[in-house]
Amino acid sequence: MAKKQFKAESKRLLDLMINSIYTNKEIFLRELISNANDAIDKLTYLALTDEAARSAVSDPVIRVDFNKENRTITVTDNGIGMTKEELEENLGTIARSGSLAFKENMTAEEETEAANIIGQFGVGFYSAFMVADKVTVLSRSYKSEQGYKWVSDGIDGYTVTECDKTDVGTVIEMHLKEDTEEVKYSEFCDEYRLKSLIKTYSDYIRHPIIMEVTKYREEGEGDDKKQVSYTEAETVNSRIPLWQKSKNDVTEEELNGFYKDTFYDFEDPILAIQTNAEGLVAYKSLLFVPAKTPYNYYTKDFEKGLKLYSSGVLITDRCEELLPDHFRFVKGVVDSEDLSLNISREMLQQTHQLKTIANGIEKKIKSELKKLMSADREKYEKFFAAFGLQLKYGVVSDFGVNKDKLKDLLIFRSLKEDKYISIAEYIAAMGEDQKHIYYACGDSLSMIGGLPQVELVRDKGYDMLMLTDEVDEFVMQTLRSEGDKDFCSINSEGADLLDKSDEEKAETAEKENKELLEFVKEALSGKVFEVTVSKKLKTHPVCLSTSGPVTLEMEKYFAQMPGDEAQKPKAQRVLELNAAHPVFEKLKAAFDSDKDRAKALSELLYGQALLIAGLDIEDPAAWTETVLGLI
Ligand code: ADP
């Protein structure tokens, strides 16, 4: 009998699939099981209105069997079945709609990539040829008394002949390929392997998947006692997934248990979100925020992504596209019946649908975190301790494109309240006269509290954000402003914390002491850019500030990064002296009568300024000598 050729609109696709060693061959079973599941659904649906379908319906069941000796795996269903014409039409055409955008001249690299993508989504029935060198389909349609047999080796085309088949439904038998160096196809002919493939990919298929499973029982008495094995039909899949249940039917314990089992965590999640979206693309999801930062979170080993299902069938364990980087700590599953398992048909559409889902998920995570922030601040602070840094990186990355989405999730330590507050809370508590949102960066809260300028903030009755993460300075520079209030470092020139009279006094003192200031600058031989009379110091004798765009915090940040020391940005340091402080008088007296002592005092004061700013003294031994000399 002459073989019929495949309608090879895209024969290359088949070749690519079958022969690529990179594709995920094990998905063949998932593809056939979900076809079987669909076939049963179709028959059940038709039975509502069609007499022939009604008489063909029996209890839905999908069977998976294997035969080690014959190297065969069989998937059987009692679904709708196929007529002769349907066998030809459905199984004789590869990638019917051909919408998989296959470029004619793909490079080898592009082909590998395409095979990888297809390998996740599969090409439906044809996936069988990834593991089989011969596929036999026995099918009888509910419309027909006659069964038909479709046989193909995937390359030379196929034949269709009549065969005996007593019941309606389809049997697909795969004869496994010979083992090669790269792939041991015979591994699939194994009870445990098949069972675990069903558990992994088809656990939430609605109809029961039955396998003959090996069991053991004890036989005989006393010395004759022995273990005897036997087989028994068992339903392998658990069928109803948690996310398909209505929200009201799912308890917190169930959600927490599911999270811990699925994502291997010991602790309950800090937040569990169940969604049921019905917009452009319908999907259900379960999302979780872990309670702790994973140990490898900030390393390249950490991989983001959500499990992606299509009507209970696993497409991929980790779909990266579903999560933005700033929420990469979220774990979970997404299931959409609008996504097709079979990517060859609608690859471009799929990409679009994934984006729609990803957008919905991002919005949902944001709104749930926001809700947690107002409903349970203690819990939110715990979340922020684990992943706040991630949110801050999210604000600064990609030149701040996501800052508006993330800024209201940020909380900072407040100077006045001694607790964490959001930007909105800071602004709400601001008085009419306050123009800026003040902040200060430092290594620790106590260090920041000790900054001389903080006194000015306190005196004015303002609040201030106390920032201790390295990235904070960049967060502030990225955010720039909120409404008509800008973020302003208390160290910056525009901080507006001074009273006019103080300012004038300082300016006069600056003029009067010009020579002294010059002298101090020279005494420090190039270590500072400028020495000035401070406008902001109240009780402290000295402090360090900067002039120009690079702040001390940025300098510290860059100092920790690898790279050429000479190339790293350095802050232009300004040593500010408090002209109203008795120490200034001592310095002046020394300048008039004893220049050596004045030089030593200059070094002493500069060292103090460094220490208060959380910086190291460049030469501690020499500095200590100087201090001792003065004593
Ligand atoms: P898809 O399932 O994405 O349409 P497939 O290549 O897997 O693509 O299957 C092609 C068609 O063959 C299906 O749409 C269905 O009509 C038919 N088919 C496949 N398997 C079965 C089955 N077990 N029972 C009945 N029809 C089937």
pLDDT in tens, 141-155: 999 999 999 999 877
58 C-alpha to ligand 1 centroid (Å): 20
- Atom 9, ligand 1: which residue's CA is nearest? 125
- Give the percent of the chain with pLDDT over 90: 65
Name residue 321's amino acid. Answer: E
Taking the CA of residue 126 as reference, the ligand 1 atom at the shortest distance is: 6
Name residue 253's amino acid. Answer: E
| pLDDT tens digits along 337-374 | 888 776 544 555 677 889 999 999 999 999 999 999 99
pLDDT of residue 376: 97
pLDDT of residue 569: 85
pLDDT of residue 347: 59
**Pocket (CB within 6 angstroms of ligand 1):** 35-36, 39, 77, 79-82, 90, 124-125, 170, 342
- Atom 8, ligand 1: which residue's CA is nearest? 124
171 C-alpha to ligand 1 centroid (Å): 12
Name residue 409's amino acid. Answer: L
Better-predicted residue by pLDDT, 390 or 544: 390
| pLDDT tens digits along 448-487 | 998 888 988 999 999 999 999 989 999 999 999 999 999 9
Taking the CA of residue 35 as reference, the ligand 1 atom at the shortest distance is: 20
186 C-alpha to ligand 1 centroid (Å): 25
- Atom 17, ligand 1: which residue's CA is nearest? 90
pLDDT of residue 113: 67
96 C-alpha to ligand 1 centroid (Å): 12
Alpha helices per DSSP H over 513-594: 514-523, 552-560, 582-593
* Structure tokens given for 95: 């990638």
- Atom 16, ligand 1: which residue's CA is nearest? 90
Confirm if 340 and 310 have CB atoms less than 8 A apart.
Answer: yes
Is residue 184 predicted with pLDDT exceeding 90?
A: yes
Residues 546-558, mean pLDDT to the nearest whole number: 82
pLDDT of residue 97: 38
Q: DSSP for 16-28? A: HHHH-SSS-TTHH
- Atom 10, ligand 1: which residue's CA is nearest? 90
pLDDT of residue 330: 98
At what angle are helices 582-593 and 595-612 packed, to 10 degrees?
150
H-run or E-run covering 309: strand 306-310
127 C-alpha to ligand 1 centroid (Å): 12
Taking the CA of residue 79 as reference, the ligand 1 atom at the shortest distance is: 24
Poorest-pLDDT segment among 74-83, 339-348, 474-483, 577-586: 339-348
pLDDT band at 379 (very low <50, low <70, confident <90, very high): very high
Burial class (CB in 10 A: 0-12, 13-18, 19+), 543: buried
Q: Mutate which of 31, 91, 125 to test ligand 1's pocket (most atoms within 8 Å of Cβ)?
A: 125
* Structure tokens given for 553: 């915090």
Is residue 318 predicted with pLDDT exceeding 70?
A: yes
Poorest-pLDDT segment among 102-106, 332-336, 581-585: 102-106
Q: How many CB atoms lie within 10 A of CB 143?
A: 16
| pLDDT tens digits along 233-250 | 999 998 888 999 999 999
Q: How many CB atoms lie within 10 A of CB 395?
A: 24
Confirm if 128 and 135 have CB atoms less than 8 A apart.
Answer: yes
Confirm if 12 and 102 have CB atoms less than 8 A apart.
Answer: yes
pLDDT of residue 554: 81
Q: Mutate which of 32, 35, 82 to test ligand 1's pocket (most atoms within 8 Å of Cβ)?
A: 35
355 C-alpha to ligand 1 centroid (Å): 27
Q: What's the CA gap between 278 and 269, in Å, rounded?
A: 26
Residues 52-60, mean pLDDT to the nearest whole number: 94
| pLDDT tens digits along 281-314 | 999 999 999 999 999 998 889 999 999 998 888 8
Q: How far is CA 226 from the centre of its chain?
A: 52
- Atom 13, ligand 1: which residue's CA is nearest? 90
3-state secondary structure of 346: helix
Is residue 29 predicted with pLDDT exceeding 50?
A: yes
83 C-alpha to ligand 1 centroid (Å): 12
Alpha helices per DSSP H over 377-443: 377-396, 403-406, 423-429
Is residue 189 predicted with pLDDT exceeding 50?
A: yes
Sheet containing 481-482: give its strands across: 420-422, 411-414, 465-467, 436-441, 485-489, 481-482
Name residue 526's amino acid. Answer: G
Q: What's the CA gap between 358 and 352, in Å, rounded?
A: 10
345 phi and psi, to 5 degrees? -80, -45
Q: How many CB atoms lie within 10 A of CB 630?
A: 12
Residue from 463, 375, 389 nearest 419 by CA: 463
pLDDT of residue 12: 64
Better-predicted residue by pLDDT, 471 or 562: 471
pLDDT of residue 521: 95
Taking the CA of residue 345 as reference, the ligand 1 atom at the shortest distance is: 3
Q: What's the CA gap between 566 and 614, in Å, rounded?
A: 22
Distances (CA, A) of 79 to 37, 40, 141, 168, 170: 8, 4, 9, 7, 7
Q: Which residues contact 420 (CB under 8 A, 6 or more apart)?
A: 377, 381, 384, 411, 412, 413, 414
